[in-house]
A and B are shown apart, each in its own frame.
Chain A
Amino acid sequence: MTYSGVDFYRLDETLSDEERGVVQTVRRFVEDRFAPDIREHFRQGTFPMELSPEMGGLGLLGAAVHGPGCPGMSQTIYGLICRELERGDSGLRSFVSVQGSLVMWPIATFGTVEQQQKWLPELAAGKRVGCFGLTEPDHGSDPGAMKTRAVRDGNEWILTGNKMWITNADVADVAVVWARTEEGVAGFLVEAGTPGFTAHPIGGKFSLRASDTGELAFDEVRLPASALLPGARGLKAPLSCLNEARYGIAWGAIGAASDCYHVALEYARQREQFGKPIAGFQLVQQKLVTMLTEITKAQALALQLGRLKDSGTHETPLTSLAKRNNVAMALDCARQAREILGAAGITDEFSPGRHMANLESVYTYEGTHDIHTLIIGAEITGLPAYR
């Protein structure tokens, strides 16, 4: 049976005609253009780069970013897009999160008019791809301790250091790179091909296989003054980018969870044991009901967060709570779906195993589950545990 969304609480009725139109359109894009090939991409460890300009044409890249050539739609629309994309695969949603929230958003927010005009139209069109370099081999949850340095040399900068776990590292035309300077953390736009700048893929992944993940190396890379993002000052700047991306992840996880629920429900209705469909057994129903309940709660969180962001009245810990809850929820759903699928659940014929593997990354990136616990903990107690 075709997928028509999981909407037990009829939250779709609170969406506008346009928002529902967006959902249907992205859903069709994922089903027609992405879903038929995802198994093979996951097996081969490849990403369908040819979809980048298609997604650009549809307005999926930087959906909520305002700037030259950008779609400039609402945060709620951006969330709905992420939800539908991640129903396909977390790798697809990651591509869009990085391009929009971590590359286009900082250029639109911290960049000069020249930087915006040079990069935003082509990034929005998906003709060029970007990546975001903050995490380092030795500095993940504590980016403030980063080793990458940028030193002034006359009118230029010299950038040295390494970045790791970078989505789109190998395919990016431009990297938004964060480095320590004498004036604090600063952001730079580093173009692929700049002498001294290299990217290497990270192999052996069992998660986010349909996504390019790599390492960036900067060996005394000479950058012009125009590479600096002048509006980004201090660690707050890259963290604010992550906050944009986390918001999309809070929505995206619902898509992965909904796919798991849908697949498990269909399977349980058809699979017969002891003379009847396993959906008729209490323990299977309990799993399905738990999944549906948690998905429904996650939907309410994400939708309200989207509306608050659209009204400009949300606080950072709200995003942490939604990311923390929804990704953990999705991972649980994937595991329960795998259980319902039995042995079939360990093959790539069914999606929950793939979602489960992917969500292990999603649980950890853009602020680990534990770091989000501490952000919310600091908010409610006034006592930051990480300082």
Chain B
Amino acid sequence: MKIAVCVKQVPDSETRINLAAPTAELDSSGFTRILNPYDAYAVEEAVKIKEAGSDVEITAITIGPDTVKETLKKDCLAVGCDKALVITDPALDHADAAAIATVLSAALKKEPYDLVLCGFKAIDDDNGQVPILIAEKLGMAHVSTITSLELGEGTLTAHREIEGGKEIVQASMPAVLTCQKGLNEPRLPSLPNIMKAGMKPMETVTCADLGVEVPANLVQIKQYSPPPARGECKLIDAEDPAAAARELARLLNEEAKVI
């Protein structure tokens, strides 16, 4: 069985974004970069499938510059993926979800994958579109935001959390699944495996190597702007809670005009 895990390197959620004025491009020079946390669920699930069965090969696939290799080694290969494919191409620098999905689909066609696992969204752009587009382009079944997975003969059963309950979905394989928190607990790589990860195969290709042309963006980011500054905070100084409540109600009614 062949599993592909599509991953993305994203800025650490604690990274301070320097955004003093509106801009079309963020200054990413000081970013600490990590594996997208939802992709870690995808990696872990693939490794669990490999540990439970025999003859499973996991390929981690990503798009990005040379700096993604550190994340691929530590968070994919050291955790249990067998090999990695890095698609590095300046043409992809500002690619939108459709373009990314086109290129990833071209890479996924190179081998007959039974499962494609992805995080359900990346925490940087919060788009959540790429896996769905891949499923469409490859003609595979797609189940989103899964919280449990069981594999059968050519089929799979997945649980999805829905509003107020749980949905149990059966799908045929090959399939594209997106992983949600709750699916598993991603492990830390053992240190000896981090040291050995560099010995696992990692191939770097361009879009031309994959025989795919990057389509023009359908969507373009026009501007990032900082959130509006928070207004002044007014502290109600009252003798007792009842007086404070009366004053709060008066302010909400007369000044804020919300009640």
Give residues in A with beta carbon < 8 Å to B.
Answer: 1-2, 4, 17-18, 20-22, 24-26, 28-29, 57-60, 63, 71-73, 77, 81
Contacts and interface: CB of A to CB of B under 8 A. Distances in A.
A57 B188 CA distance: 10
Contact of A73 (B69, B78, B191): B191
Q: Is the interface of A mostly helix, strand, loop or mixed?
A: helix
Contacts of B191: 22, 25-26, 58-60, 63, 71, 73, 77, 81
B64 interface: no
A384 B119 CA distance: 63
A2 B192 contact: no
Contacts of A60: 191
30 contacts: A2-B14, A4-B14, A4-B32, A17-B70, A17-B73, A18-B197, A20-B70, A21-B70, A21-B73, A21-B74, A21-B78, A22-B191, A22-B194, A22-B195, A25-B74, A25-B188, A25-B191, A25-B194, A28-B188, A29-B188, A57-B190, A58-B188, A58-B191, A59-B191, A59-B193, A71-B192, A72-B192, A73-B195, A77-B191, A77-B195
B11 interface: no
A40 B198 CA distance: 39
A20 to B, nearest CB: 7
Interface in B9-38: 12, 14, 32
Given A2-B14, A4-B32, A21-B78, A59 B70 contact: no
Nearest to A54: B188
A99 to B, nearest CB: 15
Given A18-B198, A25-B191, 11 more contacts: A18-B195, A18-B197, A20-B70, A21-B70, A21-B197, A24-B74, A25-B74, A25-B189, A26-B191, A58-B188, A77-B191
A4 B32 CA distance: 9
Q: Is the interface of B mostly helix, strand, loop or mixed?
A: helix
Given A24-B74, A25-B74, A28-B188, A18 B194 contact: yes
B69 A17 contact: yes
Contacts of B188: 25, 28-29, 58
Interface of B: 12, 14, 32, 69-70, 73-74, 78, 188-195, 197-198
Nearest to B34: A24
A59 B198 contact: no
Nearest to A26: B191
Contacts of A77: 191, 195
B190 A58 contact: yes
A206 to B, nearest CB: 33
B32 A59 contact: no
A18 B196 CA distance: 9
A331 B157 CA distance: 57
B77 to A, nearest CB: 10
A72 B14 CA distance: 34
Nearest to B189: A25
A77 B191 CA distance: 9
Contacts of A73: 191-192, 195
A21 B192 contact: no
A282 to B, nearest CB: 26
Given A2-B14, A4-B32, A25-B194, A18 B73 contact: yes
Nearest to B16: A1
Contact of B194 (A2, A4, A21, A72): A21
From A2, A21, A63, name the one whose CB has the most chain B CB atoms within 10 angstroms. Answer: A21
Contacts of B197: 18, 21
Nearest to A32: B188
Contacts of B192: 59, 71-73
A250 to B, nearest CB: 20
Contacts of B70: 17, 20-21
A77 B14 CA distance: 26
Contacts of B189: 21, 25
Nearest to B13: A2
Contact of A1 (B14, B73, B190): B14
A28 B193 CA distance: 16
A22 B195 CA distance: 8
A207 B155 CA distance: 58
A60 B192 CA distance: 9
B76 to A, nearest CB: 11
User: When A and B form their complex, which 6 residue pairs have the shortest distance between CB atoms, in order from nearest?
Assistant: A21-B74, A59-B191, A2-B14, A21-B194, A59-B192, A59-B190
Contacts of A71: 191-192
A17 B194 CA distance: 9
Contacts of A63: 191
B62 to A, nearest CB: 15
Nearest to A22: B191
A29 B194 CA distance: 14
B209 to A, nearest CB: 24
From B12, B189, B191, name the one whose CB has the most chain A CB atoms within 10 angstroms. Answer: B191
From B70, B192, B197, B198, name the one whose CB has the most chain A CB atoms within 10 angstroms. Answer: B192
Nearest to A81: B191
Contacts of A29: 188
A10 to B, nearest CB: 13
Contacts of B194: 18, 21-22, 25
